[in-house]
């Protein structure tokens, strides 16, 4: 079949070559006429005509090749299945996405991926052959794609049917991801080929792939719920509620609860590793909700003995702690967690409702009877003055269990004003690290939250803030420099938030005592930190246009210095002139050249001062704000900076240095500079230095003439331009318009975050720098969580020369972040915390404050649960 392709390809080339030889003479004859024509000439290539005679062969070849690829891969998969290797498929990562990352699977079966890869290779051919004369090729492609994908879906359904009888459960998420990948591929083909009016797109089995995907999703969720209900949660020893003896002395929860959490954690690992992130989140939320229904039914019907009341309390406490940890993985935002809405159709609302029901069971069954009688002696079902008031606009009933199970984090302040309260930083962080995929919008929101506190932590606890002279390995130093460069690149592009860059770097500049570097910024002879290299690149970029124009001005002036021939006055004439006169003979040509140089220098200076405000305005607002803050820190140099300001000072001094740097000037001009041009540029540099008060030694008389000439032509104009440029760096620029409140991140909305992200995407390497920051956050998850936890002990800087923050280049550590599921670790932990059952048993409950909040429950619920508490031991025959 490949021979057939080579045959018609060679035929097309031969035919095209013959047509070229025939028309060569005609083209040569009409070339002059075409060039002389003033009308727009549209070149039309009749390449489709060359394939008319090959359409049947090509249509047949498309069918043969794709059928052969499909049959070959299906046979290989069948052979592997027949050999008994049903434990797992050969899987491969998805490299070609047909949609956003949150909707695309991560891992699929290899036999499907190989077939779809070949289909993708033929798609451009089908798109190009949608014309009427070439339509059979496109129709053949659509037909074979429908047939091949039907075979693939059939095989996927067969392998899914083997679960759990003869295949492990971990195959099911892979198969579900594969069905989604097939559906997305077919949908992409339909969007590319739908323009054709005669194309039979109904042959593409899109509806069937949707049905298969839905069936596999139902299979997975129903199997998980069935396993939990009939196996994992069936524990006779744990659920022997009538036992008069305590369960393990009341110091541990039921085995079934621990295994239920272990199962859900493993399910999350399987879903996160293969299924599309959005679908993985929905699937985990559904399984969590439906298994919670089983637990609510079980514990609401339990009639425990007095000795088993502590087990009920520990069990429900463990369930709520596990759900709280998993909730970060199933919600899209912190607002969805704290303010669930039943109208949106999210799983968050029923999960909240079930958790509150479990908490109600715990309250009625396990609270002290004296407290229960004191609170409910007047009945229930109505309001009470003792019921605590929850924040306005917050559904107190749905989020009540969060405040009870984790009062340190979910405070009333958090529920009332999420972005501004203390625990909001940890909430955003937990959501960020629990995401099934990289979320740039959420990462940017977290970076800007609370004055860039996350970046401040990473920088202050890293090797970036160690004392000079401390030994740091080259790899760590390089990785830390890459991180700092990423931070500067991201924050310097956010003109809406001019203060964010300074907020993130202020502590670093203080600890390293680097504010003086701003004043000596132009001195590039010394080794400077990475941050100042980044700043230098932006400042130099703004002055490059000025330099290019100045060099072209000096080159345009004809250099007459080489043509000058000094005419000497005869000696007998010079001897007659008295020495007291101090006469120096002058050459008229030389005087004319000096006058031309002065005129050109005045024009160049005028050009610099004219474009100085626009040059300052071209710098990003965050960089200007950083220089403004640095200027206030340089009090000892305030006198010299009074007239220009720090940023103008740095920019003009850098410009002067570049004007005297021959290598820089020749690189910008692209050709060697004549000596006269270099001298004129050097004269311009001296004039700028004198105007700044930075001249070295006694200035040349010509420098004073240039400055005097500029002042005579435009009195006080240069100083006015300097003041106009300096006003672009004053505080009022950052306090008005979009930079209000120093760019306070607390004011950011989701819409504004999206706009900032779009602005960042337009910068070269912006998203890559954001990924590098995300990489560092992942590497230091434990440290960041410990610092962000509210009411935690104050974390002082480490005593070791290197901070605990780990930096690693993204290229060398991509595979290190793919964490495998560790059964030994996950079985005894709830997220980052230990599954401490003894602490759950010893947990203190403030019944006096907690019970009044449940006084509004219905009378039926209260009576039913209270009746379960009245335990009657079974009668044993004598």
The total number of residues written for the chain in this structure: 878
pLDDT of residue 525: 62
Give the strand pairing for 107-109 and 91-93.
antiparallel
Measured CA to CA, the distance from residue 126 to residue 204 in angstroms comes to: 14
Is the pLDDT reported for residue 489 higher than 90?
A: yes
How do beta strands 107-109 and 833-834 pair?
Answer: unpaired
| CA dist., res. 766 & res. 760, Å (int) | 5
Which backbone phi and psi does 749 adopt, to 5 degrees? -105, 170
Structure tokens at 78: 């069948």
Distance of alpha carbon 789 from alpha carbon 453, whole angstroms = 13
The pTM (predicted TM-score) of the whole model is: 0.85
CA 567 to chain centre: 72
Residues 57 and 39: their CA atoms lie apart, in Å, by 41
- Classified as helix, coil or strand, 436 is coil
φ/ψ of 482, rounded to 5, equals -65, -40
**Backbone torsions φ then ψ of 763, nearest 5 degrees:** -90, 145
For residue 162, CA distances in Å to 21, 181, 283, 707 come to 63, 21, 21, 90
Q: What is the pLDDT of residue 201?
A: 76
* Helix (DSSP H) and strand (DSSP E) numbers for the chain: 39, 4
Hey, where are the domains in the chain?
3-44, 55-219, 243-423+844-869, 530-557+588-739
pLDDT of residue 642: 67
Spatial separation of the C-alpha atoms in residues 480 and 500, rounded to whole Å: 20
Residue with more model confidence, 557 or 460: 460
Cβ-based neighbours of 198, under 8 Å, separated by 6 or more: 132, 135
pLDDT, one tens digit per residue, over 219-238 is 999 999 999 999 999 988 88
pLDDT of residue 831: 87
pLDDT digits 0-9 by tens, 699-738: 788 888 888 888 888 888 888 998 898 888 877 677 654 4
Average pLDDT over residues 208-214: 97
Q: How far apart are CA 794 and CA 284, in angstroms?
A: 36
673 versus 208: the higher-pLDDT residue is 208
In this prediction, residues 393-418 reach a mean pLDDT of: 81
Per-residue pLDDT at 585: 64
Q: What is the pLDDT of residue 510?
A: 93
Pair 773, 447: CB distance under 8 Å: yes
CA distances from 127 to 12, 47, 137, 192 (A): 19, 15, 10, 7
Which of 74-83, 198-207, 558-567, 855-864 shows the lowest mean pLDDT across its residues?
A: 558-567
| Pairing between β-strand 91-93 and β-strand 829-830 as defined by DSSP bridges | unpaired
Helix (H) or strand (E) holding 760: helix 750-761
User: Looking at residue 801, what is its pLDDT?
Assistant: 42
CA distance 796 to 460: 10
User: Quick check: 295 and 326 in contact, CB under 8 A?
Assistant: no
CA dihedral 699, 704, 707, 712 (to 10 degrees): 170
The pLDDT score that the predictor gives to residue 667 is: 87
Query: What's the whole-number mean pLDDT along residues 298-309?
Result: 91
pLDDT of the residue at 787: 92
The two three-digit tokens of residue 395, written as one number: 């559904």
Q: Which helix (H) or strand (E) holds 834?
A: strand 833-834
Q: Which residue, among 592, 593, 530, 588, has the nearest Cα to 561 in the 3D structure?
A: 593
Spacing of C-alpha 474 from chain mean position: 27
| Cα separation values, 531 from 514, 646, 726, 777, Å | 10, 17, 23, 20
| Burial classification of residue 711, based on how many CB atoms lie within 10 Å of its CB (0-12 exposed, 13-18 middle, 19 or more buried) | middle
Element (DSSP H or E) covering residue 829: strand 829-830
Alpha-carbon distance of 587 to 80, in angstroms, equals: 98
Report how far residue 395's alpha carbon sits from residue 865's, in angstroms, rounded to the nearest whole number.
24
Mean pLDDT of 666-685: 85
The fold adopted by the segment(s) 530-557+588-739 is GTPase Activation - p120GAP; domain 1 (1.10.506)
CA distance 617 to 542: 9
- Work out the pLDDT band at 538, boundaries 50, 70, 90: very high
Cα separation, 320 vs 426, in Å, equals: 19
Q: How far is it, in rounded angstroms, from Cα 760 to Cα 767?
A: 7
Whole-number Å distance between alpha carbons of 856 and 383:
6
Q: What pLDDT sits at residue 346?
A: 86
Using only C-alpha atoms, the chain has a radius of gyration, in whole angstroms, of 38
Mean pLDDT, the chain, as a whole number?
A: 83
**Helices marked H in 194-303 — which ranges?**
206-227, 255-274, 277-300
Which tokens sit at 334?
A: 């912190």
Q: Which is more confident, 590 or 346?
A: 346
- The pLDDT confidence band at residue 344, using thresholds 50, 70 and 90, is confident
Residue 503 has pLDDT above 80, yes or no: yes
630 token code pair: 């640095």
Most confident of the following: 459-468, 616-625, 791-800, 823-832? 616-625
- Return the closest-CA partner of residue 142 out of 155, 157, 127: 127
Look at the block and give the residue holding tokens 């490949």: 2
Q: What is the pLDDT of residue 528?
A: 83
- 676, 660, 658: which is closest to 553 by C-alpha? 676
DSSP output for 718-752: HHHHHHHHHHTTSHHHHHSGGGGGGG-GGG--HHH
Instruction: Tell me whether residue 713 is exposed, middle or buried, using C-beta atoms within 10 angstroms of its C-beta: 0 to 12, 13 to 18, 19 or more.
Output: exposed
d(CA 419, CA 715): 54
Let me know if 213 is exposed, middle or buried by CB neighbors in 10 A (0-12, 13-18, 19+).
buried
Nearest to 437 by CA among 767, 774, 748, 183: 774
Q: Is the pLDDT of residue 462 over 60?
A: yes
Distance CA 592, CA 596 (A): 6
Reported confidence tier of residue 21, pLDDT bands at 50, 70, 90: very low
What 8-state DSSP symbol labels residue 830?
A: E
Instruction: Give me the pLDDT at residue 568, please.
Output: 60
DSSP 819: P
Could you read off the pLDDT of 758-800 as tens digits, one per residue?
989 888 888 899 999 999 999 999 999 999 987 644 444 444 4
Q: E strand or H helix at 91, and its extent?
A: strand 91-93
C-beta of residue 146 within 8 angstroms of C-beta of residue 101: no
Three-state secondary structure call for residue 873: coil
pLDDT tops 60 at residue 22: no
Residues whose CB falls within 8 Å of the CB of residue 471, separated by 6 or more in sequence, listed in order: 801
Residues 113-129 pLDDT 10s: 999 999 999 999 999 88
Q: Region 446-464: what's the mean pLDDT?
A: 93
Highest mean pLDDT: which of 187-201, 552-566, 587-601? 187-201
Strands (E), 306-448: none
SS3 of 108, please?
A: strand
What span, in angstroms and rounded, lies between the C-alpha atoms of 531 and 495? 19
Contact 855, 364 (CB under 8 A): no
């Amino acid at each position: 079949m490949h021979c057939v392709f080579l045959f018609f390809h060679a035929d097309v080339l031969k035919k095209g070559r013959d047509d070229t030889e025939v028309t060569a003479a005609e083209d040569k004859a009409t070339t002059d006429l075409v060039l002389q024509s003033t009308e727009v000439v549209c070149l039309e290539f009749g390449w489709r005509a060359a394939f008319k005679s090959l359409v049947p062969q090509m249509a047949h070849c498309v069918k043969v090749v794709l059928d052969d690829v499909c049959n070959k891969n299906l046979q290989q998969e069948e052979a592997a299945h027949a050999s008994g290797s049903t434990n797992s498929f050969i899987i491969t990562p998805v490299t070609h996405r047909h949609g956003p990352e949150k909707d695309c699977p991560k891992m699929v079966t290899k036999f499907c991926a190989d077939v779809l890869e070949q289909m993708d290779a033929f798609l451009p051919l089908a798109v190009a052959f949608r014309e009427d004369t070439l339509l059979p090729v496109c129709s053949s492609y659509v037909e074979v794609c429908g047939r091949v994908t039907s075979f693939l879906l059939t095989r996927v359904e067969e392998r899914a049917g083997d679960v759990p009888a003869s295949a492990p459960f971990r195959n099911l998420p892979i198969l579900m991801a594969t069905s989604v990948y097939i559906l997305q591929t077919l949908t992409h083909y339909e969007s590319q080929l739908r323009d054709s009016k005669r194309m039979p797109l109904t042959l593409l089995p899109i509806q069937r792939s949707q049905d298969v995907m839905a069936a596999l999703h139902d299979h997975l969720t129903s199997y998980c719920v069935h396993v939990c209900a009939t196996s994992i949660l069936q524990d006779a020893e744990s659920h022997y509620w009538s036992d008069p003896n305590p369960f393990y002395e009341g110091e541990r929860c039921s085995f079934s609860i621990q295994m239920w959490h272990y199962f859900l954690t493993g399910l999350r690992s399987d879903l996160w590793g293969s299924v599309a992130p959005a679908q993985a989140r929905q699937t985990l939320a559904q399984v969590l909700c439906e298994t919670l229904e089983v637990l609510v039914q079980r514990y609401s019907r339990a009639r425990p003995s007095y000795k088993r009341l502590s087990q009920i309390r520990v069990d429900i406490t463990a369930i709520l702690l596990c759900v709280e940890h998993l909730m970060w993985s199933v919600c899209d935002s912190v607002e969805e967690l704290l303010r669930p809405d039943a109208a949106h159709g999210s799983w968050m609302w029923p999960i909240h409702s079930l958790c509150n029901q479990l908490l109600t069971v715990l309250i009625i069954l396990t609270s002290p009877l004296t407290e229960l009688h004191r609170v409910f002696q007047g009945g229930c079902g109505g309001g009470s003055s003792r019921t605590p008031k929850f924040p306005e606009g917050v559904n107190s009933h749905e989020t009540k269990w969060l405040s009870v199970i984790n009062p340190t984090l979910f405070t009333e302040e958090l529920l009332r004003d999420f972005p501004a309260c203390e625990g909001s930083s940890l909430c955003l962080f937990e959501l960020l690290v629990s995401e099934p995929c990289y979320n740039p919008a959420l990462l940017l929101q977290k970076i800007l939250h609370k004055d860039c506190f996350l970046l401040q932590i990473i920088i202050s606890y890293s090797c970036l803030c160690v004392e000079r002279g401390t030994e740091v390995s080259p790899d760590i130093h390089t990785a830390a420099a890459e991180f700092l460069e990423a931070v500067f690149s991201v924050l310097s592009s956010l003109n809406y938030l001019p203060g964010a860059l300074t907020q993130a770097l202020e502590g670093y500049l203080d600890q390293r005592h680097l504010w003086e570097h701003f004043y000596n910024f132009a001195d590039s002879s010394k080794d400077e930190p990475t941050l100042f290299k980044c700043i230098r690149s932006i400042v130099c970029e703004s002055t490059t246009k000025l330099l290019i124009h100045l060099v072209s001005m000096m080159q345009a002036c004809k250099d007459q210095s080489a043509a000058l021939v000094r005419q000497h006055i005869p000696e007998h004439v010079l001897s007659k002139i008295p020495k007291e006169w101090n006469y120096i003979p002058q050459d008229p040509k030389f005087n004319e050249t000096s006058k031309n140089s002065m005129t050109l220098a005045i024009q160049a200076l005028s050009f610099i001062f004219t474009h100085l405000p626009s040059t300052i305005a071209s710098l990003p607002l965050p960089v200007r704000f950083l220089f403004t803050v640095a200027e206030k820190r340089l009090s000892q140099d305030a006198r010299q900076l009074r007239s220009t300001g720090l940023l103008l000072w740095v920019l003009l001094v850098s410009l002067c240095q570049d004007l005297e740097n021959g290598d820089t000037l020749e690189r910008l001009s692209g050709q060697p500079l004549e000596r006269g041009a270099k001298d004129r540029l050097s004269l311009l540099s001296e004039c700028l230095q004198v105007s700044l008060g930075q001249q070295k030694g006694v200035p040349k008389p010509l420098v004073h003439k240039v400055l005097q000439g500029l002042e005579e032509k435009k009195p006080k104009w240069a100083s006015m331009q300097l003041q106009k440029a300096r006003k672009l760096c004053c505080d009022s620029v950052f306090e008005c318009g979009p930079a209000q409140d120093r760019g306070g991140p607390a004011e950011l909305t989701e819409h504004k975050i999206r706009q900032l992200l779009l602005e960042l995407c337009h910068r070269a390497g912006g998203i890559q720098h954001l990924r590098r920051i995300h990489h560092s956050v992942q590497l230091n998850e434990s440290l960041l969580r410990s610092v962000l936890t509210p009411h935690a002990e104050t974390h002082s800087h480490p005593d070791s020369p290197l901070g605990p923050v780990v930096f690693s280049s993204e290229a060398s550590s991509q595979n290190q972040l793919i964490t495998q599921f560790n059964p030994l670790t996950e079985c005894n932990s709830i997220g980052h915390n230990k599954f401490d059952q003894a602490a759950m048993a010893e947990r203190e409950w403030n019944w006096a404050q907690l019970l009044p909040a449940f006084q509004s429950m219905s009378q039926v619920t209260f009576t039913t649960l209270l009746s379960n508490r009245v335990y009657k031991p079974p009668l044993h025959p004598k």
